[in-house]
Structure 1
Amino acid sequence: MKKIDKLVLLDFLPPYLMAFFVVEFVLVMQFLWKYIDEFVGKGFSFGVLLEMLFYFSVRTIPEAVPVTILIASVMVFGNLAEKYEISSMKSAGISLTRIMMMGVLIAIFTACFSLLASNYLKPRANYKFFYRFNAIRKQKPALNLAEGVFSKDFRNFVIRVGDKEANERDIKDVIIYDHSGRDRKKINMLVAKTGQMYAREDNNNFVMELNDGEQYREMTVSNKEDPKKKENVPFIRTKFEKWTKIFDMSEFEMAAQNLNIARKEYDLLNSFQLIDAIDSINMKRDENRFKMNQNFRKILTIPEFTAEPDNTKDLPADVKSAIDKKEKLIKETANVKKNKVMIKKQEIDKDLSEYNSLLETFPKDHQKYLIGAAKSMSSKQHEVLTNKVGQDRGYRASRSRYVLRLHQQYSWALICIVFLFIGAPLGSIVKKGGYGYPLLIAIVFFMLFIILNILGERLNRGMTISPILAAWLPNLIIIPIAVLFTFRAVNDQGIADISGFFIKIGRMLRIIKPA
């Protein structure tokens, strides 16, 4: 390795690693800040939260590495330019592109790492993350029966505990409202002086044992004269020495039932699986279109089928003999007088040319029947075709999402290399290292990339542009900017002169514009 490459490599690695972890930390904190309200009070351990955040950080690797390259390249080449090391190398006859060679290799390595992460790390991390994230979001808040507070944690029950002992087991002054009956407006209340509450060893059930209490129930009876009419009767009061109720704790557990993880299946697949999924969608779409064409043919045309005669050349001798006998019998009976189907004669009172339509040649009662049958058939076929068109639109939208995700894996990898040709020239032009200008420049261009990426996804979702164009839209816009910055840096032209370039472009457009 030459000294110039070693110099760039040693200068590149520390800011590269630091920028990667900083960007990952920012992305994780952004996610945590957005959903912190849904995590608080759920009762899960800190280890579960760390596990979920770890999987989230893995799934954001393809998003983090482009800005990592951008920040590191601006810092490194800005620092080299600030210390006049790039100027010294240029005076020795070394071009800027040669100085950037090691950075280009690091960018290519980063692009390969991004592609590997998108294909092997991100799908698995997405599954684990969605599993944890959706389970936590759907989990009910942790059971917490505070003193003097009416709790609705259990379904169809409202519980109030007046006082709890230090052991969190013995309780006093307990009130329970039971709304599990058919008529929730009827009062069903329990009052107890003392009791105990605890969870069983398997943590699947919560037990409340109440002592020395009363139950009040509001009852209704049917009216003898009118059974549908209900009559109120006095409260039924029942005293008890001991009352036990077992509550199901499964609704407080973090489980993955009905989490609909497969709703974004395209985020759980690698490139090869995405290609297979796209082929499967194409086959289903072609099959649906074939059925739709068949329905059109049934409506618009009457198909005529002509049966081709079977070839009896290779048949066994006994089969040929049987066929010959059948043919002989058919020929013998061909001259038999055929039966005729008699059709009732239709009388019309005027010439056919005087009728406005064929329908008028039928009797009035038949006309209504024919119109009703035609409307029914038309409505049925319209419903069938509308359903087929909706299915075709759904297949198209699903295919667009899969194609977009497939091409995004490669566009996010390529942008790592493109960002190097933005960061390195800008660093050599502004001649500022450290965390000031480099960070500002990186944020501006990364925001541009994210905005273009979101714009492409939205346009693809609305079927405005193709998924391939939507995936590569950020690269198509940012690559010319990278070429422009690299060209000006190689030719030692300042960034302030870029405005003149756009002025020239505007003049050219005015000349080309027709009068």
Structure 2
Amino acid sequence: MKILDRYILKSFLITFTSVFVILFFIFILQTVWLFISELAGKNLDFITIVKFLIFSMPRLIPLVLPLSILLASIMTFGSFAENYEFAAMKSSGISLQRAMQSLMIFIFGLSIVSFFFANNVIPKAEYKFVNLRKEILQTKPAMAIAEGQFNTIGNSNIKVDKKSGDNGELLEGVTMHVKSNLGTGNKTVIKSKRGVLKSDENSNILKLDLLDGYYYEDITPKKYEEQNRVPFAKAFFQKYTINIDLTNLNKSEDNGEIVNTNSMLSISELSYTIDSLQNSYKKDVVFFSDNISQGIEFTLKPKEIANPKEFKSTDEILNIFPINEQARILEFAKNSLSSTDFSIQTNKDDLFNKKKNINKHWIALHEKFVIAFSCLLMFFIGAPLGAIIRKGGLGLPIVFAVLIFITFHFANTFGKKVAQEDGMPAFLGTWLSSIILTPLALVLTYRATNDIGVMVNFDWITAPFQKLYKRFFDNNSTDEENNDNTH
């Protein structure tokens, strides 16, 4: 049995290593593509680029490792079944469950390693990755602005015609479009002949000094009939200073950019941070409730309305006051309601953002366990599925692996997004993909170990294409024979 276990383990490891290297290389190329604007044309030395890639690699493991295990399991066990090696094992009294024993031990150990990797290595790599980007922007401030194209920084779009200097800090032909805070487009345009970028290693502020330029700003008239004139203000300046906050370049990541600090923390650090955030959130809720309850108290309490329960409506209360006093009371009530409503909306948004931040930390904590469990899950899906479909190689196994992994990744992304927006508990959102696919793993393992559906026929997928192929080529060959006979 030791010889058989070594053979199965060796076959799996060869396939797993090959698949892992190929997939990891593909995801590295994707990372380079996502950050190509920060790497291309920046005059970075080779060592900095290597560091950039090395620090970005650990974050790819949660994607590459489960997919590699899934694909390698399907290919390995599919090849065993296709070559009737499982039939030989079963004839010798070796069940599928016994054949999987050595691999189960290996995958279990791999899942434990992946957990410690996610808890210790990935947070440190994320921290170094963020600081490397920040260091590059501080030591080479021109990296924030690429030459010959518009660059979005904060609420501005900046374009320069040419850069010079040791670090590209001297700019020529600067054009800036500043977006309006009201969301009505670009209302301000700044153009200057020259510019100088300045930065300090101990500061998150990148200073841009514009020299010899013009400042244009569109003015929206209050009267509608004057809007067709499109008035604007124009001013000349010799020096105009703009401060760019570099922390805006390191914020969270819906488009593949750097995530927040929750991804840089271990489980113990996340637990401490979550506890602090939740205590702060509870205090804010209590403080907000007290302020609202105190703000809506009616300040006018004359003797006539010492007991408001005696009155059936607000009209009866108003009627006890003079006419001129009633107008003042109504105006006061209107202003009080408007102020309270504004305060509620402001505090509601603030509390929602704090709750969202707490959810992000909970998601980051659960993700470390999901990575380990996904290794086991993908193995118990891939190994039985490979034995059932009886197909090895890179054909049908890749189709099944991609479909299963897309389902897993979509459910995982969807669950985390909904949980982050407080649409469901963070635990459920993070484990949603595992909850969906675990029944599939149980069903496939049961069917494979009990020889149910081992002879599943997939001809219903390929038969229509084969018929179409034969009909097309048979007609062509018949036409050619008829032409030959005619000649």
Match for residue 14 of structure 1? 14
Residues 202-247 of structure 1 deviation map (CA, whole Å, 9 limit, x = unaligned): xxxxxxxxxxxxxx99xxxxxxxxxxxxxxxxxxxxxxxxxxxxxx
Q: 1:151 aligns with which of 145, 162, 168?
A: 162
SS at structure 2 position matched to 1:10? helix
- State the percentage of identical aligned residues: 28
Residues 43-80 of structure 1 deviation map (CA, whole Å, 9 limit, x = unaligned): 11222222111111122112221112112222222232
Q: 2:440 aligns with which of 477, 481, 491?
A: 481
Residues 332-390 of structure 1 deviation map (CA, whole Å, 9 limit, x = unaligned): xxxxxxxxxxx999xxxxxx999942223223333333333333333333333333322
SS at structure 2 position matched to 1:362? coil
Q: How does 1:238-249 map to 2 (within 5 A)?
A: none
Change (3 A) 1:51 1:344: closer
Match for residue 468 of structure 1? 427
Separation in structure 2 between the aligned mates of residue 488 and residue 150 of structure 1, nearest angstrom: 66
- Looking at both structures, which has the greater relative contact order when contacts are Cα pairs under 8 Å and sequence separation is at least 6? 1
Change (3 A) 1:93 1:354: closer
Match for residue 322 of structure 1? none
Separation in structure 1 between the aligned mates of residue 364 and residue 442 of structure 2, nearest angstrom: 27
Q: 2:290 aligns with which of 282, 291, 294?
A: 294
Instruction: Give the conservation status (yes or no) of the 8 Å contact 1:56–1:126.
Output: yes
Change (3 A) 1:409 1:184: closer
Match for residue 144 of structure 2? 139
Instruction: Give the conservation status (yes or no) of the 8 Å contact 1:131–1:256.
Output: no
Instruction: Give the conservation status (yes or no) of the 8 Å contact 1:65–1:110.
Output: no
TM-score by length of 1: 0.62
Q: Deviation of residue 463 (structure 1)?
A: 3.3
**Residues 413-422 or 383-392, more deviating:** 383-392
Instruction: Give the conservation status (yes or no) of the 8 Å contact 1:123–1:270.
Output: yes
Match for residue 82 of structure 1? 82
The AA in structure 2 aligned to 1:151 is K
Match for residue 51 of structure 1? 51
Q: Deviation of residue 432 (structure 1)?
A: 3.0
Separation in structure 2 between the aligned mates of residue 131 and residue 355 of structure 1, nearest angstrom: 62
Separation in structure 2 between the aligned mates of residue 472 and residue 498 of structure 1, nearest angstrom: 33
Separation in structure 1 between the aligned mates of residue 314 and residue 117 of structure 2, nearest angstrom: 76
Separation in structure 2 between the aligned mates of residue 400 and residue 151 of structure 1, nearest angstrom: 44
The answer to whether structure 1 residue 267 and structure 2 residue 263 are counterparts is yes
The AA in structure 1 aligned to 2:144 is Q
**Residues 36-45 or 93-102, more deviating:** 36-45
TM-score by length of 2: 0.65
The AA in structure 2 aligned to 1:139 is A
The AA in structure 2 aligned to 1:283 is N
Instruction: Give the conservation status (yes or no) of the 8 Å contact 1:75–1:435.
Output: yes
Instruction: Give the conservation status (yes or no) of the 8 Å contact 1:295–1:385.
Output: no
Residues 133-165 of structure 1 deviation map (CA, whole Å, 9 limit, x = unaligned): 46469533489xxxxx96366667449xxxxxx
Instruction: Give the conservation status (yes or no) of the 8 Å contact 1:70–1:423.
Output: yes
Separation in structure 1 between the aligned mates of residue 303 and residue 417 of structure 2, nearest angstrom: 65
Residues 75-115 of structure 1 deviation map (CA, whole Å, 9 limit, x = unaligned): 22223223322212211222111111111111111211221
Separation in structure 1 between the aligned mates of residue 319 and residue 49 of structure 2, nearest angstrom: 78
Larger Rg: 1
The AA in structure 2 aligned to 1:395 is K
Unaligned runs of 5+ in 2: 149-159, 175-188, 195-211, 214-243, 253-258, 305-310, 459-487
Match for residue 184 of structure 2? none
Separation in structure 2 between the aligned mates of residue 383 and residue 40 of structure 1, nearest angstrom: 47
Match for residue 96 of structure 1? 96
Q: How does 1:309-348 map to 2 (within 5 A)?
A: none
Q: How does 1:37-436 map to 2 (within 5 A)?
A: 37-133=37-133, 135=136, 138-141=143-146, 151=162, 157-158=172-173, 259-260=249-250, 264-299=260-295, 356-436=315-395
Separation in structure 2 between the aligned mates of residue 354 and residue 300 of structure 1, nearest angstrom: 18
Q: Deviation of residue 419 (structure 1)?
A: 0.9
Change (3 A) 1:430 1:356: closer
Coordinate RMSD, CA, aligned: 3.9
Q: Deviation of residue 453 (structure 1)?
A: 1.3
Unaligned runs of 5+ in 1: 144-148, 160-182, 190-215, 218-250, 303-342, 346-351, 500-515
Separation in structure 2 between the aligned mates of residue 400 and residue 443 of structure 1, nearest angstrom: 29
SS at structure 2 position matched to 1:433? coil
Bigger helix fraction:
2
Change (3 A) 1:84 1:367: same
Separation in structure 2 between the aligned mates of residue 293 and residue 374 of structure 1, nearest angstrom: 20
Change (3 A) 1:185 1:32: closer
Instruction: Give the conservation status (yes or no) of the 8 Å contact 2:162–2:171.
Output: no
Separation in structure 2 between the aligned mates of residue 91 and residue 353 of structure 1, nearest angstrom: 90
Match for residue 200 of structure 2? none
The AA in structure 2 aligned to 1:387 is T
Separation in structure 1 between the aligned mates of residue 191 and residue 315 of structure 2, nearest angstrom: 68
The answer to whether structure 1 residue 492 and structure 2 residue 424 are counterparts is no
Instruction: Give the conservation status (yes or no) of the 8 Å contact 1:131–1:259.
Output: no
